[in-house]
Amino acid sequence: MLSICEAVGMPPSTGLRARMRAELTGEIKDEARRQLAAEGAPGLSLRAVTRSLGMASSAIYRYFPSRDDLLTALIVDAYDAIGAAAEEADASCSPGDYGGRWRAVGLAIRAWAVAHPHEYALVYGSPVPGYRAPEDTVGPASRVTFVLARMVDEASRDGALLESAEGLGLPALDVAVLDESRRLADLAFPHASDEVVVRAVIAWTQLFGMISFELFGHFHSVIEFVEPVFERSLLETGRMVGFPPPRRGPQEGGGADGGAGRGTGGGPGGADGSDGRTEADDERFYLI
């Protein structure tokens, strides 16, 4: 019964038919992404997508067996885009400038999130119940994480981390925490100490926690212009991890949008330092 190119395994890829298929698949994803940006994930309708593409409603199931599969594809793309933005920002820095790299990558991730709020929400917001994340997502998902982890590990390896606050009144790590940090060290931090691994996790969760709070509206009537506060928090968490402060240089924005595929989200208010979000964005993707 099921075949569809050996169950979505794609045929030899060459051939007129395969080209059409790849193209249409891309068009479907593009249109879906457009609707995602306009209405959010719950408002993404397969029928609306096919309607926009001028095809029968049942035709889309030849390309995506279910709505969840379409969402999965969008999730994978979003993860990849965030990862690419982070990697590009990291690469644009002097490798030894760990503080600058942390700052640049953090700013790039936030810039991408602000430019693509619904895709960010799709990935870092509440998971869709009943939808079990397939293995396809874990690879792209770890891309950003790995950029951050590598940064910490390289700094550890080079002895560039300031062991500033260590032993400043805090007790030694609990044995249960040690278990986790050891396992994590084997996974991505071969050179970092246990304390540094734990602090990296803290900085990591703070980074995304702050972005989520901003995009999900929890700063409503708390913080008006998030960017400067966000940048300050990068400084503070960077120091907590032990990074030396960013070197002064021609940074300013640290890779900005990252340029991962789609643009910065529209001209108005783009890089004037205000916030990146337009009024219209606020109108639709708002605050809880």
Tokens (6 digits) for 165: 């606050």
Q: How far is the CB of 258 from a copy of itself (least distance, A)?
A: 20
| 66 sits near DNA (criterion: CB under 7 A) | yes
- The answer to whether the beta carbons of residues 219 and 72 sit under 8 Å apart is no
At residue 113, what is the residue type? A
E strand or H helix at 54? none
Computed on alpha carbons and rounded to an integer, the radius of gyration of the chain in Å comes to: 21
CB of 286 to a copy of itself, least distance (A): 6
Q: Minimum CB separation from a copy of itself for residue 65, in Å?
A: 19
**Binding to DNA in span 6-35, by CB under 7 A:** 6, 11-12, 15-17, 20-21, 24
Output the DSSP codes for 168-222. Answer: SSPPPPPHHHHHHHHHHHHHH-TT--HHHHHHHHHHHHHHHHHHHHHHTTTTTTT
Q: Are 156 and 191 in contact (CB under 8 A)?
A: yes
Q: Which does 160 bind (CB under 5 to 8 A by kind): DNA, a copy of itself, none?
A: none
Q: Which stretch binds DNA (CB under 7 A): 41-49, 121-129, 139-147, 223-231?
A: 41-49
Does residue 65 bind DNA (CB under 7 A)?
yes
The token pair at 87 is 């990697």
Does residue 132 touch DNA according to CB under 7 A? no
Task: State in angstroms the smallest separation of the CB of 179 from a copy of itself.
Answer: 7
Of residues 43 through 62, those in contact with DNA by CB under 7 A are 44-48, 55-59, 61-62
For residues 43 and 190, which CB has a smaller minimum distance to a copy of itself in the complex? 43
Residue with smaller CB distance to a copy of itself, 65 or 125 = 125
Q: How many CB atoms lie within 10 A of CB 121?
A: 19
Binding site for DNA (CB under 7 A): 3-6, 11-12, 15-17, 20-21, 24, 44-48, 55-59, 61-63, 65-68
